[in-house]
Amino acid sequence: MNCFVGIDLGSTITKAVILDEAGEVLGRGITNSRSNYDLAAEVARTEAFVTARFGLLRKEVEKAAGGAMLDRLLRAFRTEQTLVQLDRLQHHIDAEVVSTVAGPLQQPVTEVIDEIFRRLRQEEEDWFAGRTEGTRSDFFRDHVGSGWARLSEELGPPVDVSFDLLLSLYDKCIIKVENEPLELGFQDHIDAALARIGDVEGVDAVRLGVERARDAELVEVATIGTGYGRARLPFAKEQIRSEILCHGLGAHRMFPNTRTVLDIGGQDTKAIQVDGRGIVTSFQMNDRCAAGCGRYLGYIADEMNIGLHELGPLAQRSSRRVKINSTCTVFAGAELRERLSLGEQREDILAGLHRAVILRAMSLLARSGGVDDEFTFTGGVARNPAAVAALEELVAENYGDRTLNISPSSIYTGALGAAIFAMRAAEEGRGVAGTGTRQEA
């Protein structure tokens, strides 16, 4: 099957989308961005092919084997991927201890590290077995990182191994793991994943499906990449499209009546106008300063010691919004503490902060030509209910009734647009494939 790949190398997250010949989404992949852009793009692409093959598998055997069985297989697959990365992390940390930790300290440090890894592996097994509560980050760096910090604090100090030393070992070595090519594809772990779920009833149907999914020929005919602010992108020049155009087209694909797009990402905000075919007619974006972007909310969450996803719901409890003037991330902490010391409620301050973020976006929207119907909101901040509520309110005040679209997969908007560009380029016979290769499972 021919397929078309779009990759969006964002400031914090890299996304990939694969389309099939009919233009339907076949797979999506996501990873945290890192200094090695080629690898970030490659990991996202590999992930997208993993989900594509799981998608094929699901189509094949969902009826016969049931969704729960497939969910379990995917979980097993994720666990196998994590264990491989844990092995690599331990390899690098062991080497780091030998080369940097003073002789007499090496033994206690190694003992603590061995214990941390033993427990991390156990936690992974618990997660697979469904014994862990809550959700976990999609990114190895984040979910292992939080476990590492917790276990280091618990296990290090009692045996006089400093917490800071353990943390610095992790910080150094996680970068090495992220920047080395690892085998994380479908073929690499699907057999182990199958073995992991064991000989339960219905597994034969799954096995058969796995064989078909493994053998499915996925030929990457064309790839288009996008990404902002990079000195270089890991794509050939003819394979690059502007992020603005990709977002416009992606939003059009998700909601065909879209005329205005607002994207608030980690470090930039974009206001885009598109025509009936998804072609950009005007755009504005923040310039030198990233005030009021997603990172601002991230910083506020850190200051308040709460999760980013908790910010919006907390702000929504406000009954008396505080007026916040500055969206400067650097000043945010001070302003927050000052307001708290004046006796303001956290939820009221947060409500004000969310409104301030959206006010900045409103200015960009106005400069780009206003808010037309329909209006599509994308980017990480679109997942924040308080930001959405503030946007709805301000759009209604300034432009009247508008249909507001938010897709649950809005984070993939840019990658989706890039994949459509890849498909079009292939249709026009323009050589943007680079690979044209069959993707090994």
Partner 1 sequence: MAPTTKEEVKVQKDRSMILQKEMIAGHFERLEKAPETGEKVVYTFVPGNLTELIRSFGALPLLPEINALQSGMRGKSKGYIAEAERNGHSEDVCTYVKCDIGMLRSGNIGPTGTRLPKPDLLLLSYTGCYTFMKWFELLREEYDCPTVFLHVPYQGDGTLLPEHRAYVVKQLRETIIPALEQVTGRPYDEDLLRENLARSAQAEDDLVAVLHSAKNRPSPIDSYFGGVYYVGPIFSAFRGTPEGVDYYRALRQEVEARVAAKQGPLTPVGRLDDQKYRLVVEGPPNWTSFREFWKMFAEEGAVVVASTYTKVGGTYDFGFRHDPSDPLGTLADYCGGCYTNHNLPGRIEMLERYVKEYEADGFIINSVKSCNSFSAGQLMILREVERRTGIPGGFVESDLVDPRYFSAANIKNRLESYLQMIEARRAGGATSSEALGRLA
Cα–Cα distance, 34 to 38 (Å, whole number): 9
CB 208 within 8 A of CB 190: no
Which CB atom, from 133 or from 428, has the smaller least distance to partner 1? 428
Report the nearest approach of partner 1 to the CB of residue 276 (Å).
Answer: 8
* 165 Cβ contact partners less than 8 Å away, ≥ 6 residues apart: 101, 109, 156
14 lies in the site for partner 1, by CB under 8 A: no
369 lies in the site for partner 1, by CB under 8 A: yes
From the list 77, 228, 235, 377, which residue makes contact with partner 1 (rule: CB under 8 A)? 228
Which CB atom, from 207 or from 430, has the smaller least distance to partner 1? 430
Which CB atom, from 246 or from 300, has the smaller least distance to partner 1? 246
Report the nearest approach of partner 1 to the CB of residue 30 (Å).
Answer: 22
147 lies in the site for partner 1, by CB under 8 A: no
388 lies in the site for partner 1, by CB under 8 A: no
Which CB atom, from 269 or from 384, has the smaller least distance to partner 1? 269
Peptide linkage before 428 cis (omega within 30 of 0):
no
Which CB atom, from 288 or from 323, has the smaller least distance to partner 1? 288
376 lies in the site for partner 1, by CB under 8 A: no
CB 20 within 8 A of CB 41: no
297 lies in the site for partner 1, by CB under 8 A: no
Cα–Cα distance, 205 to 58 (Å, whole number): 11
157 lies in the site for partner 1, by CB under 8 A: no
Report the nearest approach of partner 1 to the CB of residue 261 (Å).
Answer: 13
Q: In what order do the strands lie in the sheet with 218-227?
A: 25-32, 13-19, 2-9, 218-227, 438-439
Choose the stretch contacting partner 1; rule: CB under 8 A; options: 1-9, 63-71, 273-281, 335-343: 273-281
CB 141 within 8 A of CB 174: yes
With contacts defined by CB under 8 A, how many residues of the chain interact with partner 1? 28
277 lies in the site for partner 1, by CB under 8 A: yes
Identify the CA nearest to 72 among candidates 178, 195, 159, 177.
Answer: 195
386 conformational bin, left if phi > 0, alpha if psi -120 to 50, beta if neither: alpha
Cα–Cα distance, 181 to 161 (Å, whole number): 31
From the list 12, 106, 187, 281, which residue makes contact with partner 1 (rule: CB under 8 A)? 281
Which CB atom, from 170 or from 283, has the smaller least distance to partner 1? 283
Report the nearest approach of partner 1 to the CB of residue 245 (Å).
Answer: 5
Sign of CA dihedral 354, 359, 364, 368: positive
| Binding residues for partner 1 restricted to 234-263, rule: CB under 8 A | 241-245, 259
Report the nearest approach of partner 1 to the CB of residue 247 (Å).
Answer: 10
- Unique residue bearing structure tokens 């793991």: 177
400 lies in the site for partner 1, by CB under 8 A: no
Cα–Cα distance, 340 to 353 (Å, whole number): 13
Cα–Cα distance, 257 to 251 (Å, whole number): 9
Identify the CA nearest to 372 among candidates 395, 392, 390.
Answer: 395
230 lies in the site for partner 1, by CB under 8 A: yes
Which CB atom, from 59 or from 367, has the smaller least distance to partner 1? 367
| Binding footprint of partner 1 on the chain (CB under 8 A) | 228-232, 241-245, 259, 273, 275-277, 279-285, 287-288, 367, 369-370, 372
